Chain A
Amino acid sequence: MLTSPISIKEPPINTTPLDKRSRQFRIQMVKMLEAAKRGHMASAFSLVEILRVLYDDILRYDPKEPHWTSRDRCILSKGHGALALYVLLAEKGFFPEAELWNYCKENGILGGHPEYGKVPGVEASTGSLGHGLSIGIGFALNARYLKSAHRTFVIVGDGECDEGAIWEAALAASKHKLYNLTVIVDYNKQQSYATTYEVLDLEPFADKWQAFGFSVRQVDGHNIEELHGALAKVPFETSKPSVLICHTIKGKGVSFMENNLEWHHKNYPTASEIEALLAELERD
């Protein structure tokens, strides 16, 4: 059994401390929430370290040439995590940081879900769940056809894995032995209504991916070293697609947001809520 030793029926606990940089990204996201008055906050907070490690050290890309043919492709299939993606893409120079303050504004490029063709660095429009992995398989097949070394990474949510299309795609990735494809699951164990165990249980989750033909690894999705250690080693096996199950906390970094379903998507946060968020994140 590959299943995590973490007790799966209780709210997950993760005590990994966040360093200043991780907190800084979250502060930016809170300020974007304040400006736009809406956002999938907790869903984005669980993703920050995954994206940080990918864009810091794993992905090959050139922000000045976002269509560079040899770049690694990264699709945020759980498009509602867009806030986290936007702060990373801005930091890396895909677009000016000032654009962040136009989040969800009429003439901005950054919507509630990332759009291909609008946001430099975004490889596919996502938002409706269960689409990104199939598109990523198309990318990976083409890379193999071209004998190009570029790789494809697809980040999916755990709730997203309720979708049958994810498992259709998993069959296809395995059939084609897509060693150049890595799925990263943000396994925060909460979806919109309740925990994943209550809504539609995914367990034994790692075993499922293994049974579908993936090479599976699991890490603490907030631990930079663990994430880096695993992602630097893809493909985990040479003839299989890889999946990295990242055990995360929805709302990670703010005590009252962690595992709190009210923050899955937040509309009209009050001034005192924003203040409390910033106070926690700015504390050294």
Chain B
Amino acid sequence: MRKTCLDIICEIARKDDRVVFMGSDLGVATLNRFKEEMPDRFFMEGISEANVIGMAAGLALEGRIVYVNTIASFLTRRCFEQVALDLCLHNVNVRLIGNGGGLVYAPLGPTHEAIEDIAIFRALPGMTIIAPADAAEMRRVMPLTVNHSGPVYIRLGKGGDPIVSNDLSPFVIGKGLIMHEGDDALVVTTGVMLKTAMDAAHMLAAENINIAVLHMPTIKPLDQACVLEYAARNPVVVTLEEHTIIGGLGSAVMEIIAEANYPEPKRCKRLGIPDVFPDKYGSQASLLAYYELTAGNLIKTIKQLRSV
């Protein structure tokens, strides 16, 4: 997903000389092609995230479209005020590409895991948050970021994630994608957890339980109409995200449902990472299992809620 993302930045920069790339201190040879072909639009500015965001804002105020790439936890935590003021308050066209969204950096521990990145940025006026499910979806969304107005955060997965998205519907920033139809339960998910939700949907279908899977590659602005439409016809709503249950997709969906005032209350559950710093290493997959962000637990949760 990351490679696809960076490759596309290179492609769009070739076509549009407003496009600039800026990294902090990325891996050796990152985007070498960009650097060789367009050296005056390639910046590697050191481990100085606050300054990097400010510089990007300055370039964007002058009409550039700046793609900034570093580790997601540093982009969201370290330079929050620069993102809030320099980017969001000025509403500039800077795209933040966060490596290792969620538990990707499990072996590196809690300093590097980005499990509250969505919550942090969701609170900022004007910020757009996108979490593609796989590299194919990344390829569809990235060209749309060029002319999108205002700052955008793009959350990257680990890479090599299985392809589960499809191009049956055109990608539109701010629109949800219905990936599986059903009216026994609604699962709302984002990013790479779409795969887990789809696995659960297929397993449940074999038991004649049909769930709707709503994929929200754009978490902000969230497609409220789509949530309301599918929640209205399902008695059970479960959200699934590789993120703390505080302030992320689950919170956003439940805020909408709470204010919808359905005549029959919905039975709801947010599945995500509990309110802790992960206390184990291992791998993204092992931590997802540890926090029960699995198809098995999703199925169990749906069945429990349906039987209430």
Interface residues of A (CB under 8 A from B): 116-117, 123-125, 128, 130-131, 133-143, 145, 164-165, 168-169, 171-172
- Binary contact track B41-58/A, C-beta < 8 Å → 1, others 0: 101011010111111111
Give me 29 A-to-B residue pairs in the complex whose CB atoms sit less than 8 angstroms apart, sorted by A's number: A116-B89, A124-B57, A124-B58, A124-B86, A130-B50, A134-B54, A134-B82, A134-B86, A135-B61, A135-B86, A137-B58, A138-B57, A138-B61, A140-B58, A141-B58, A142-B58, A142-B62, A142-B63, A142-B64, A143-B62, A145-B40, A145-B41, A165-B50, A168-B46, A168-B50, A168-B51, A169-B51, A169-B54, A172-B45
Distance between Cα atoms of A130 and B81 in the complex (Å): 10
Q: Which residues of A contact B45 (CB under 8 A)?
A: 172
Min CB–CB distance A204 → chain B (angstroms): 23
Q: Which residues of B contact A168 (CB under 8 A)?
A: 46, 48, 50-51
Min CB–CB distance B87 → chain A (angstroms): 11
- State which of B41, B50, B63, B89 has its C-beta within 8 Å of the C-beta of A125: B89
Min CB–CB distance B150 → chain A (angstroms): 13
Consensus secondary structure, chain A interface: helix
Distance between Cα atoms of A162 and B46 in the complex (Å): 20
Distance between Cα atoms of A137 and B45 in the complex (Å): 12
| Most chain B C-beta atoms within 10 Å of own C-beta, residue among A123, A135, A136, A164 | A135
| Chain A residue at minimal CB-CB distance from B60 | A138
- Binary contact track B79-98/A, C-beta < 8 Å → 1, others 0: 00110011001100000000
Min CB–CB distance A188 → chain B (angstroms): 24
Q: Which residues of A contact B40 (CB under 8 A)?
A: 145
Q: Is there an interface contact between B90 and A125, defined as CB atoms closer than 8 Å?
A: yes
| Chain A residue at minimal CB-CB distance from B59 | A138
Q: Which residues of A contact B55 (CB under 8 A)?
A: 134-135, 137-138, 141, 169, 172
- State which of B43, B60, B64, B82 has its C-beta within 8 Å of the C-beta of A131: B82
Residues 116-164 (chain B) with a chain A CB within 8 angstroms: none
Q: Which residues of A contact B57 (CB under 8 A)?
A: 124, 134-135, 138
- State which of B54, B58, B63 has its C-beta within 8 Å of the C-beta of A165: B54
Distance between Cα atoms of A34 and B229 in the complex (Å): 56
Interface residues of B (CB under 8 A from A): 40-41, 43, 45-46, 48, 50-64, 81-82, 85-86, 89-90
| Chain A residue at minimal CB-CB distance from B79 | A165
Q: A124-B90, A141-B55, A172-B45 are in contact. Are A134 and B50 (CB under 8 A)?
A: yes
Distance between Cα atoms of A165 and B56 in the complex (Å): 14
| Most chain A C-beta atoms within 10 Å of own C-beta, residue among B46, B54, B58, B64 | B58
Q: Which residues of A contact B89 (CB under 8 A)?
A: 116, 125
Distance between Cα atoms of A135 and B62 in the complex (Å): 10
- State which of B46, B51, B62 has its C-beta within 8 Å of the C-beta of A134: B51
| Chain A residue at minimal CB-CB distance from B90 | A116
Q: Is there an interface contact between B62 and A131, defined as CB atoms closer than 8 Å?
A: no
Q: Is there an interface contact between A172 and B48, defined as CB atoms closer than 8 Å?
A: yes
- State which of A116, A131, A171 has its C-beta within 8 Å of the C-beta of B54: A131
Q: Is there an interface contact between A134 and B90, defined as CB atoms closer than 8 Å?
A: no
Q: Is there an interface contact between A172 and B62, defined as CB atoms closer than 8 Å?
A: no
| Chain A residue at minimal CB-CB distance from B64 | A142
Q: Is there an interface contact between A139 and B50, defined as CB atoms closer than 8 Å?
A: no
Q: Is there an interface contact between B48 and A139, defined as CB atoms closer than 8 Å?
A: no
Q: Is there an interface contact between B51 and A172, defined as CB atoms closer than 8 Å?
A: yes
- State which of B56, B61, B81, B82 has its C-beta within 8 Å of the C-beta of A123: B61
Q: Which residues of B contact A123 (CB under 8 A)?
A: 61
Min CB–CB distance B282 → chain A (angstroms): 34
| Chain A residue at minimal CB-CB distance from B84 | A128
Distance between Cα atoms of A136 and B55 in the complex (Å): 7
Min CB–CB distance A216 → chain B (angstroms): 20
Q: Which residues of A contact B41 (CB under 8 A)?
A: 145
Q: Is there an interface contact between A172 and B58, defined as CB atoms closer than 8 Å?
A: no
| Chain B residue at minimal CB-CB distance from A170 | B51
Q: Is there an interface contact between A138 and B46, defined as CB atoms closer than 8 Å?
A: no
- State which of A134, A136, A139, A143 has its C-beta within 8 Å of the C-beta of B53: A134
Distance between Cα atoms of A142 and B58 in the complex (Å): 8
Min CB–CB distance A114 → chain B (angstroms): 12
Min CB–CB distance B155 → chain A (angstroms): 24
Q: Which residues of A contact B46 (CB under 8 A)?
A: 168, 171-172
- State which of B56, B58, B90 has its C-beta within 8 Å of the C-beta of A136: B58
Min CB–CB distance A122 → chain B (angstroms): 11
Min CB–CB distance A1 → chain B (angstroms): 28
Q: Which residues of A contact B60 (CB under 8 A)?
A: 138
Min CB–CB distance B67 → chain A (angstroms): 14
Min CB–CB distance B225 → chain A (angstroms): 30
